[in-house]
Structure 1
Amino acid sequence: MIAEILKNVAIVVVGLLPIMNPLTTIPLFMALTKHMSQDTRRLQARKACIYAFSILTAFLLLGNGIISLFGISLPGIRIAGGIIIMILALRMIFSGDDTSSAVDAEPSEIKKANLDYSFSPLAIPSLAGPGSIAVTMSFGSEIPPSHLIAGHMVVIVGIAITVGFAYLALSAAPWIEKALGDHGMQAVTKIMGFLLTCVAVQFLASGIRDFYVDFSQM
């Protein structure tokens, strides 16, 4: 029984981790928290992971009801996430940073550093994006009716482990930044901004395609 549970937890982690891919969130995290203290950065990473875990768990348990209640579809979530990521990515490309850099030089005047980016865009759509939500709901749909409680607990544990990997990745961001230096960070920010633009385009394209498929079947 224990071996079967561990096997199913591993399946959830293996299925969810590549979709969440916390490594792609590191450049966005570093850009958004550039003017924050180390303690604030750690708090942002912790809150982002808690939010991501809560979002994925909520969609696991209440996904179909949430979507029906608000009239939201997964294609709509994909397009909304793509737009948010596109805006942030273009700022990273053309300014080498995002709006968190648009602050006064005086430390007492740096108010943008106190902004909370943990829920959006770090938790959603970056960590708990449309793909992660879709995968989580797919795992939930495969739970046998005779093992609902145990099945949901297995998926929740898998989500927690995956989010734990994400927290480790975000926590390592300051060391990565120190290793690269200012010029290296600017180069990485622009490169990752381009890659995030590609991800955003993919989100938008897949969302539009799914919208077209849904409407063509009506």
Structure 2
Amino acid sequence: MSFSFKEIVSVTLILFSVIDVIGSLPVIIDLRKKVGKIESERATIVSGVLMVSFLFVGERILKLFGVDVASFAVAGALIIFLIGLEMILGRTIFKADETVGGASHIVPIAFPLIAGAGTLTTIISLRAEYQTVNIIVGIVINLVLIYVVLKSSEWIEGRLGPGGLAVLRKIFGIILLAIAIKLFKTNLIPDF
């Protein structure tokens, strides 16, 4: 168990790209307008609990179904690849549940926007390549960033504008495609 600055940076960037809290700003802003206030603290805490829990329990769940981490990593690479395509092409492949219900901090912000299928799949996929302690640090750094973005979503909306948000989304989409290809190479063909 050792800290690696390089691994922490890699994990942080991968999760930041997959979570895409900046790309989710239009949904967050729209929700804020509908419900009046986003509970940033609760959304961040619920997201963190989901991510860390899945980091530790996710592999056991996979074993229950007889799936190894490398196979799950390849499946995760497929999802990451599709999310990257979504971001670059501006098309919706994954549909989020639109119901807000009474818990605006949990649905749809904490789950599925922040700790959705792509994020949870990525966390398990990262276990195949990075040490757990570095993944946890990457998750915590992302939770801090998520909290800051949720807390200042109104300010960010005014500063970036629609064009700035679109550019950021495309950049993170390209990064995700590269990450997906790396995961394919590492887990599908281990000797490559």
Instruction: Tell me the equivalent position of 2:32.
Output: 37
Partners of 1:197 and 1:54 in 2: how far apart?
24
Partners of 1:58 and 1:86 in 2: how far apart?
25
Partners of 2:98 and 2:127 in 1: how far apart?
34
Q: Structure 1: which 5+ residue stretches go unaligned?
A: 1-7, 101-110, 143-153
Out of 112, 116, 122, the residue aligned to residue 130 of structure 1 is 122
| 1:213 maps to amino acid | I
**Displacement of 1:55:** 2.1
Higher helix share: 1
TM-score (norm 2): 0.63
| 2:169 maps to amino acid | G
Partners of 1:73 and 1:197 in 2: how far apart?
21
Gap change, CA 1:121 and 1:48, over 3 Å in 2:
same
Residues 151-162 of structure 1 correspond to what in structure 2 (within 5 A)?
A: 158=137, 161-162=140-141
**Displacement of 1:50:** 2.1
Gap change, CA 1:133 and 1:76, over 3 Å in 2:
closer
Out of 156, 164, 172, the residue aligned to residue 196 of structure 1 is 172
| 1:51 maps to amino acid | S
Residues 38-57 of structure 1 correspond to what in structure 2 (within 5 A)?
A: 42-43=38-39, 46-47=42-43, 50-57=46-53
Instruction: Tell me the equivalent position of 1:178.
Output: 158
How many residues are aligned here? 175
Residue 27 of structure 1 aligns to a residue whose secondary structure is: coil
CA contact (8 A) 2:73 2:124 kept: no
CA contact (8 A) 1:26 1:169 kept: yes
| 1:67 maps to amino acid | L
**Displacement of 1:85:** 3.9
Partners of 1:136 and 1:13 in 2: how far apart?
18
TM-score (norm 1): 0.57
Partners of 1:12 and 1:18 in 2: how far apart?
10
**Displacement of 1:29:** 2.2
- Overall identity of the aligned pairs, in %: 9
Instruction: Tell me the equivalent position of 1:80.
Output: 79
Instruction: Tell me the equivalent position of 2:112.
Output: 120
Residues 157-168 of structure 1 correspond to what in structure 2 (within 5 A)?
A: 158=137, 161-162=140-141, 163-168=143-148
Instruction: Tell me the equivalent position of 2:89.
Output: 90
Instruction: Tell me the equivalent position of 1:64.
Output: 59
CA contact (8 A) 2:84 2:173 kept: yes
Out of 12, 19, 22, the residue aligned to residue 11 of structure 2 is 19
Partners of 1:174 and 1:113 in 2: how far apart?
22
Residue 37 of structure 1 aligns to a residue whose secondary structure is: helix
Measured on the aligned residues, the alpha-carbon RMSD in Å equals: 4.3
| 1:170 maps to amino acid | L
Gap change, CA 1:125 and 1:188, over 3 Å in 2:
farther
Q: CA deviation digits over 1:41-87, x for unaligned, max 9?
A: 6237742552244223332x334323323425222212213213422
| 2:89 maps to amino acid | L
Partners of 2:138 and 2:183 in 1: how far apart?
24
**Displacement of 1:187:** 0.9
CA contact (8 A) 1:16 1:132 kept: no
